[in-house]
Chains A and B, each alone.
Chain A
Amino acid sequence: MLTSADLNPKGPISLAERQLLFDAFFIMMIVIVPVFVMAALFTWRYRGTNRKARYDPGFVYYWPVEILVWGAPAAIIVWLGFHLWDGTHKLDPYDPIDKSVEPLEVQVVAQDWKWLFIYPEQSIAVVNELVFPTGKPLSLKITSDTVMNSFVIPALGGQIYAMAGMQTKLHLLADENGEYWGRNVQYSGYGFADQQFHAISVSDEDFENWVQKAKDAGKMLDKEGYEALAKPSSKLPVTYYSSVTPGLFDSIIYKYTKGNAHGYAMQCTTPELAQASQASGGETGSRAE
């Protein structure tokens, strides 16, 4: 069930990330292959016992070669650099995949050692299972209520850190129905190895049914319920909550940032410092928006 690979993408994001990997790989071959060939050739040809090979101890500098050995790698890096710049801007995890489509918003909380998914529009929550409609962009807002975690669904793309008191974002999309695995990949302690979840993309209809199933679970996720859930535990079975206290996600972040004053820049003079301090400020997450 839980077998999938980065090489077997099920969505446009992981597909594009993989494509960039392949492109860079093949571009790099332009320098890698000559190294292999030269190493093999020179090792064989210039072995000391081969008296037929030319021995030229004075061949220690030759300017056209110098230009080539600097120029060729530099040219390739420029080429790669364009790919890198372009790819990084296109695949910014914070960017919505399709601005014209309303995404499904899910709030993700990393806990020891499980994942909590809150669906604010549906007002449901679920532990260790992320279900979403195929073909509809998924907008994830991610934080942690414990140590730093890193959220990834290899078949769809990722990853991004989950950090307490901060919020990061990730946009994903599945092209076909299926069940994938997702997990924390940043070591987080005793239960780390089992900190995984099912990511399931389903038809719109099945999604509605699934939401209804959660609604029927009859369990509330209020403050007390949350506190109990947040305690360390591992291998927790999938658990549904039929309703969630509004603002729970923000309160999890706020818990760690409350009371922090304005930044240094407020009392400082330069606009650069003002910007820097906003960027490092707690509630907006690790990136100024």
Chain B
Amino acid sequence: MSMASATDATLVHPGGSPETEEKAFGFWIYLMSDAIIFALLFMTYLVMFGNTAGGPEAKDVFSLERAAAETFLLLMSSTTFGMASIAAARADRERVVMWLVVTVALGLGFIFLEFSEFRGMIAEGAGPSRSGFLSAFFTLVGTHGLHVSIGLIWIVTMLAQIGMKGLSVPVLSRLYRLGLFWHFLDIIWVAIFSIVYLPGLL
């Protein structure tokens, strides 16, 4: 029990100094701004859903199996990132590294699946220039994928920093913000899954 509460405290107040707290707060605000970007992309997708211009429709191009696999990978990566955060709170450097590596692997799997989905669609003539609907789809899902890719670069950077600097206060602070980012992308993906893939296929 006592360990859990210590963990919570560290997760909520990374490093504890006003400076790191400020950075975490600023990052929250950035995420809110980014959430608006996604909200507008979702809105655009809904507006353009029927604008298929004689091209393929959602049910022709989406695969529930792939989307489910992507969801699984990303949700798992969020869990493993959570494990890394717990290890960080315990100052267990090796476990942090291990869990982050697992997270990268899962994230790469997600990106690979998405990339092959996109490539397959383009090969079938269902690329983003085919119709307004597909433009909106590629932009929405692609923007999320781009965020995940940036997140992966960030994780790799953090692995390097942990290797060089250990779990210092600035490193923990960055790790905390990276966690916010990674879980945020998970939430966005859940929205993509339930607004893009599920209604498109059911």
A residues touching B (Cβ–Cβ < 8 Å)? 258-264, 267-268, 273, 276-277, 280-282
Give per-residue flags for B44-88: 1 if the beta carbon is below 8 A from chain A beta carbons, else 0: 001101111111011000000000000000000000000000000
In the bound complex, CA of A281 to CA of B47 (Å): 9
Contacts of A282 in B (CB 8 A): 51
Q: Cβ of A261 and Cβ of B47 under 8 Å apart?
A: no
In the complex with contacts A267-B58, A280-B47, A260-B52 CB distance below 8 A: yes
What is the interface of chain B mostly: helix, strand, loop, or mixed?
loop
Instruction: Determine which of B49, B53, B54, B200 lies in contact with A263 in the assembled complex, contact meaning CB atoms within 8 Å.
Output: B49
Instruction: Determine which of B49, B52, B58 lies in contact with A259 in the assembled complex, contact meaning CB atoms within 8 Å.
Output: B52
Interface residues of B in 148-201 (CB under 8 A from A): 199-200
Q: Cβ of A264 and Cβ of B55 under 8 Å apart?
A: no
B interface residues, tally (CB under 8 Å):
16
Give per-residue flags for B123-134: 1 if the beta carbon is below 8 A from chain A beta carbons, else 0: 000000001010
Instruction: Determine which of B50, B54, B199 lies in contact with A262 in the assembled complex, contact meaning CB atoms within 8 Å.
Output: B50
Contacts of B133 in A (CB 8 A): 261
Instruction: Determine which of A258, A273, A281 lies in contact with B54 in the assembled complex, contact meaning CB atoms within 8 Å.
Output: A258
Q: Cβ of B50 and Cβ of A277 under 8 Å apart?
A: yes
Contacts of B49 in A (CB 8 A): 263-264, 277
Query: Does B4 make an interface contact (CB < 8 A)?
Result: no
B residues touching A (Cβ–Cβ < 8 Å)? 46-47, 49-55, 57-58, 131, 133, 199-200, 202
Q: How far is the CB of A147 from chain B (nearest CB, A)?
A: 17
Q: Cβ of A267 and Cβ of B52 under 8 Å apart?
A: no
Closest to A277 in B: B50
Query: Which 6 residue pairs spanning A and B have beta carbons closest together?
Result: A259-B54, A264-B49, A263-B50, A261-B52, A259-B53, A261-B50
Q: How far is the CB of A278 from chain B (nearest CB, A)?
A: 10
Q: Cβ of B53 and Cβ of A260 under 8 Å apart?
A: yes
In the bound complex, CA of A277 to CA of B47 (Å): 7
Closest to B51 in A: A260
Q: Cβ of B55 and Cβ of A268 under 8 Å apart?
A: no
Contacts of A264 in B (CB 8 A): 46, 49-50, 199
Closest to A262 in B: B50
Contacts of A258 in B (CB 8 A): 53-54
Contacts of B131 in A (CB 8 A): 259
Contacts of A280 in B (CB 8 A): 47, 50
Can you identify 5 A-B contacts, CB atoms within 8 angstroms? A258-B54, A259-B54, A261-B50, A261-B52, A280-B50
Contacts of B57 in A (CB 8 A): 261
Q: How far is the CB of B59 from chain A (nearest CB, A)?
A: 8
Q: Cβ of A267 and Cβ of B202 under 8 Å apart?
A: yes
In the bound complex, CA of A262 to CA of B47 (Å): 11
Contacts of A261 in B (CB 8 A): 50-52, 57, 133
In the bound complex, CA of A276 to CA of B199 (Å): 16
In the bound complex, CA of A38 to CA of B55 (Å): 65
Q: Cβ of B199 and Cβ of A259 under 8 Å apart?
A: no
Contacts of B50 in A (CB 8 A): 260-264, 277, 280-281
